[in-house]
Amino acid sequence: MVSIFEAFGLPEQPGSATFWSLAEQGSPRFIPAENGWQALFLSRSQQSTLLRFDDRPEPVEMTACTAENGDVFHFAIQHFPAPFRVSYGFTQADNPSGLADPLNPVGAGPLRSIASTPDAAEQAFWPSLSAEALLPVPPTRLRWSSELLGARRTVRMQYIGPEVEAAQRVVLLLDGDDWIHLHPAGLAFTAAHQAGELSPCTLVFVPSPGGDKRREELALNPLFWRAVREELLPLIATQLGREVEPASTVLAGQSYGGLAALYAAVTMPETFPQALCQSGSFWYPAPDASAASGPRTGPMDGPLGGAMARLLSTSELDLSGITVAFDVGSHEGKMVDHQAEVFRLLAERGASLHSNVSAAGHDRSSWRDALLRDTAWMLRRIG
């Protein structure tokens, strides 16, 4: 057992004070491996511990190890491609909702940590904050009481740059609470603006409900976008003291949010002509596994492009007035093909398109850099 830990630069007896002193210098620990990296994760908990990654459906059961003094801890070794970045956390009997890695100084809210391989690109403007860090909340608050959706929610706003200039460009961030409480977009966008890499803009953090309600709201839902257009945009305009101009409004979303942002641009181009889509769920809806005559199908095994491709294929749409920036992770499997089909159909209908494949999985820790990069690109186009 000692040799396993020695390979990761932990030469002392497992579980000793010196062992943990070295481990506390940062987790996970990486060593080069064929086609990437091996990563060592450690948990000092004596309870059975599961290691959960945001981009993988199944958890990893960590292995128990007993130190010479009788203390029990847990470890897991995982292979990562090069380069790679992923969010992860631990779950235990007394922490069923999860907790961040206490040995990792880089967190994403109180329940997640971020692991980055040594060759992962630096995310220059995103601060490295611990899981215990108290993140700033955007100062401006809107009360959105939606009659159309039958729901109330708090929408936050933040000016990036001088207020008068920022009010001229509006960026709506779907799943907005994640961009406040897990990945502080306000801090990152402000840093990028101060470095001259981002035009002034107003960030609008649009929260989403949890669980299945999120899918219902974001997956090709015309009522949601009618509510945004008829109810939320007037609230934003009142706060800004000016109309929200379609030509300077950007939608940004990830996963179901990416699907939603594109759906709005396709069906309401006169209101939402610019969209950013990171890892859009263009496989949606999942095929009916019970109706499959062959091998069991997964959610991405349906026709390429899913319902979005059907919409684009069966409609006489002139999309020459919309601009869409796509990003998908090279490690997202069939997501790459689903996006490529949607991209092809949009190009046939005249849309202005930009696409990037990142060395990433289905994970907000990678989406955040694509979000900032593509927002900067879109705002430069807007002028």
Rounded distance between C-alpha atoms, residue 90 and residue 75, angstroms: 11
pLDDT value of residue 353 = 98
Contact 269, 315 (CB under 8 A): no
For range 356-365, the mean pLDDT:
95
Burial profile 259-294: b = 16 or more Cβ within 10 angstroms, e = fewer:
bbbbbbbbbbbebbbbbbbbbbbbbbeebeeeeeee
Bridge-based pairing state of the strands 170-174 and 63-66:
unpaired
Q: What is the C-alpha separation between 297 and 276, in angstroms, rounded?
A: 29
Per-residue model confidence as pLDDT tens digits over 154-204: 999 999 999 999 999 999 999 999 999 999 999 999 999 999 999 999 999
More confident residue, 26 or 148: 148
Non-local CB neighbours of 51 within 8 Å, separated by 6+ positions? 41, 43, 59, 60, 61, 62, 76, 78, 88, 90
Task: Give 301-310 pLDDT, tens digit per residue.
Answer: 999 999 999 9
Q: What's the confidence (pLDDT) of residue 289?
A: 60
pLDDT of residue 315: 78
Two tokens at 85? 């970045």
Say whether pLDDT at 292 is over 70: no
Q: What is the mean pLDDT of the chain?
A: 95
Task: Give 20-51 pLDDT, tens digit per residue.
Answer: 999 999 999 999 999 999 999 999 999 999 99
Rounded average pLDDT over 355-376: 97
For the chain, domains (ranges, CATH) are 2-116 (2.60.40.10), 140-382 (3.40.50.1820)
Does the pLDDT at position 152 exceed 80? yes
pTM of the model: 0.95
Rounded CA gap, 175 and 50, in Å? 27
- The span from the CA of 114 to the CA of 96, in Å, is 19
Predicted local distance difference test score (pLDDT) of residue 243: 97
Question: Which phi and psi angles does 164 have, rounded to 5°?
Answer: -65, -45
